[in-house]
Amino acid sequence: MEGYILGVYAGAVRVGTLGYDQPQDAFQFAFALADFCVRLGIEHRYFARELTRLCGFALQEAPAQAADPAYMGEEVAFVQGLAQFVATRAQALLAMARDIPKFTADNF
């Protein structure tokens, strides 16, 4: 993974090549997340479990929040789009979380 960067900000994890971002497959993202855990001393099985829980909560809460009657007019479409984005990212992270525990210290 030399030449790759892992950015964590605002609750999102982003992997890209230095200088620009490229779409990567879920396995490469999972490797980067597992590597991130190793570098920070976070047990990656624990991280995968908590990531799975967090994504489950996001998948439940995003549509519920978007359905809140407090939103009016153009806000409704915006919040629904945002909820769909959250759900899409949560599903992608769930796919990665399944692979994170497969990596061992030998991989790094």
Other C-beta atoms lying within 10 Å of the C-beta of residue 58: 20
What pLDDT sits at residue 78? 94
Chain segment 61-76, per-residue pLDDT in tens: 999 999 999 999 999 9
Of all residues in the chain, the percent with pLDDT exceeding 90 is: 32
Domain of 9 in residue numbering reads as: 4-107
38 CA to centre of own chain: 17
What pLDDT sits at residue 54? 87
Q: Higher-confidence residue: 41 or 74?
A: 74
**Mean pLDDT of the 35-53 span:** 84
The distance between the two most distant Cα atoms of the chain, rounded to a whole number of Å, is 54
Residue 83 pLDDT exceeds 90: yes
- Contacts of residue 79, defined as CB under 8 A and 6 or more positions apart, other chains included, come to 65, 66, 68, 71
pLDDT bin (cut points 50, 70, 90) of residue 31 is confident
Q: Report the chain's mean pLDDT, rounded to a whole number.
A: 76
Contact by Cβ (8 Å): 95, 33 = no
Indicate the number of domains in the chain.
1
* φ/ψ of residue 99, rounded to 5: -90, -25
**Mean pLDDT of the 14-43 span:** 64
